[in-house]
Chain A
Amino acid sequence: MVTTASYRYWFILAGILIVSFLINITFGSVRIPFSQILYILTGGIPENPAWKSIVLDFRLTKALTCILAGSALATGGLLMQTLFRNPLAGPDVLGLTSGASLAVAVLIMLGNSLLPWLTGSFSITIAASLGAGLLFLIIIALSRSVNDHASLLLIGLMIGALTAALVSILQFTSRASDQQYYLVWTFGSLGGLSWAELTILAVFSLSGCLLAFQLIKPLNTWLLGDQYARSLGINIQRSRLIIIISTAMLTGSVTAFCGPIAFVGLAVPHLTRLLINTMNHKPLLPAVSMGGASFMLLCDTLAQLPGSGYIIPINAVTSLAGAPVVIWVIVKSRRLHI
């Protein structure tokens, strides 16, 4: 049997995930003893009844949001890196999050005044997914006429600039309250989701992940090139379409609820490969989604600035952690290919 990643790695990954989850749920502006937290999680009544609602309604939903968002973004990033055979691809760098943001901006700033009933969280999720998917199609169409990694990233950068310009035009014409709502949304936030919203996020991101797991075979053959993939009976158009749908759902739903979160999709696949060094998607896909969940939980913990009452935007933390990884990948691949 082909076992690239032995069981040891799965124990390590699962261990990191559980520890990250517990750390994340333990720290917050209110100090709650760790034993009490475990007690609450297992269904007990704590010494201070208020702690129960803090842990279950606030911290647990936030931790679950982190797990869903982190694994969704990381999985989307891995799909894009394999699809473009480009180690620097990711939902944010190639403009998918920009597309989702633009769709959300249109909905918030135009929709709020014109069609108030349209701005529920479900329709925002749909809009963001459509925006991400549309941008993905544009990037794929453009990627056919460029064949180096850097050009594709520059195109992604330009698309980001274009959508930012469109959003600022929208802001210019919209109400102050909508503007502020949108601005706060762009900082990114993992907290504050109701259980109903969490359900929508879960449905979208888990469906996206399930679609991705169906793609293990095409993704592996993708590494061999189009011709070999086709000779093995892989339908390239169909697989590409499923990758687009899956990535759009993953990126769109997370962006709708948590804002445009940077660097997770780009950095986590590389960080995971430090542990499980393989290009075989059978172990890599689940490993990357677990890694993404842990990464997001830890970033969110840091965002609370443990011990202080302050919360810094999650985007600042993911960028602080993710940008060095990207620099490392660029430096490393320079050495490999030139």
Chain B
Amino acid sequence: MEDPDINDRILLSATHLSVGYSNKGSAKVLFNNLNFQIHTGELVCFMGANGIGKSTLIRTLAGLQPPLQGKIELRFPDNSFQPLHHPEPEFIALVLTDKINAHNLTVEELLLSGRYPFINWRMQTGTADQVKINQAVEAVRINHLLPRRLNELSDGQMQLVMIARALVQDTPLLLLDEPTAHLDLNNRVEIMNLLRHLAHRLNKGIVVATHELDLALQTTDRIWLAGDRQGILSGIPEDLVLDGTFDEIFQLKGFDLKTGRVFHKPWRGIAVTVRGDGHPLLWTRNALERSGYRIDNSSIHIISIAQHENGKLTWTLGDQSFSSLHSLLNHMQTGLPMN
């Protein structure tokens, strides 16, 4: 049983939800009979292969497209559950994959659009609006970008700005569709850390659709895994790894999720013993396994790692010593007998 308090933290509740498209009477169902809740203070990664319908579910949860069946309810601050019929700009903020074509807009003007649901047609903003903008800018740390125009931003900066724009709306629920696509590793880690931080510190419910397994495993509180048969499996990442759900759904080829490492075949048929510790041992094993050697501590080929006072490393094999793994591997290739 889940703990009883969790019901107090529900933001959105979906029951018997079917999602997809209906076109001229014929429906294309992407997900069927989903039942789930989104809670405050929780980062959820919604994972699945490309084309499985992640964006469609996000749009449905945002009220941009009607569900085929079932219902979505929002829990408002007065504890009343109300069905979602159309976008609720005061409750749900979005970051979508849609390209913004307003190259000439400044970041500041774009951020202000997050306040549109709360200001009148003459666009008169008050100090409250400015405070929300400042808070969002602070949270995402994009002060230096404010006066820039959108066409001057890199892809990573643009994503940060779009996340800030959603935060400016100051909604309890945030839905993000592939916010880390096309970004480099640094930016991806930064954005996922930021989202987790926002969920925990600002007590928001955040759902991120992504297909980046490694990143999600290490940052998210909960994973929804879009599997076969139009269903979604939900759980915390570690449970899903250990009970084999990931292996079954992703059918990973050559990647051992339980160790978090890529699986290498020891095709050379040569075993080596490695002696050392810490990071040097880890990366030496990595280099050897990647090159097709088997690590077996009963082997007669012994590689010892020594770390000198100046921080330099040397590897010793037999009576020869090497200053880099590269030279060690080169030597091993030219003449190490099978055993």
Contacts and interface: CB of A to CB of B under 8 A. Distances in A.
B98 A227 contact: yes
A277 B104 contact: yes
A114 interface: no
A232 B101 contact: no
B221 interface: no
Contacts of A223: 100-102, 105
16 contacts: A85-B101, A214-B121, A215-B121, A217-B116, A221-B113, A223-B102, A224-B102, A227-B96, A228-B98, A230-B87, A231-B92, A232-B114, A233-B117, A273-B104, A278-B109, A279-B109
Interface in A211-247: 214-217, 220-221, 223-225, 227-228, 230-234
Interface of B: 59, 62, 64, 86-87, 89, 92-94, 96, 98-106, 108-110, 112-114, 116-117, 119, 121-123, 125, 130, 169
A112 interface: no
Interface of A: 1-2, 4, 85, 214-217, 220-221, 223-225, 227-228, 230-234, 273, 277-280, 282
A231 B87 contact: yes
A278 B104 contact: yes
Contacts of A280: 105-106, 109
Q: Secondary structure at chain A's binding surface: helix, strand, loop or mixed?
A: loop
Query: Most chain-A CB neighbours within 10 Å: which of B92, B105, B116?
Result: B116
Q: Secondary structure at chain B's binding surface: helix, strand, loop or mixed?
A: loop
B25 to A, nearest CB: 21
Given A1-B125, A214-B121, A228-B98, A233 B116 contact: yes
A230 B101 CA distance: 16
Contacts of A216: 121-123
Nearest to A273: B104
Contacts of B117: 232-233
Contacts of B114: 232
A277 B110 CA distance: 15
Given A224-B113, A227-B94, 13 more contacts: A2-B125, A216-B123, A220-B109, A223-B101, A223-B102, A225-B101, A228-B98, A230-B87, A232-B87, A232-B116, A232-B169, A233-B89, A279-B105
A228 B109 contact: no
Contacts of B169: 232
* 5 closest Cβ pairs, A-B complex: A223-B102, A233-B89, A279-B104, A225-B98, A233-B117
A279 B98 contact: no
Contact of B87 (A225, A233, A282): A233
Contacts of A231: 62, 64, 87, 89, 92-94, 96
A231 B93 CA distance: 7
Nearest to B111: A2
Contacts of A214: 121
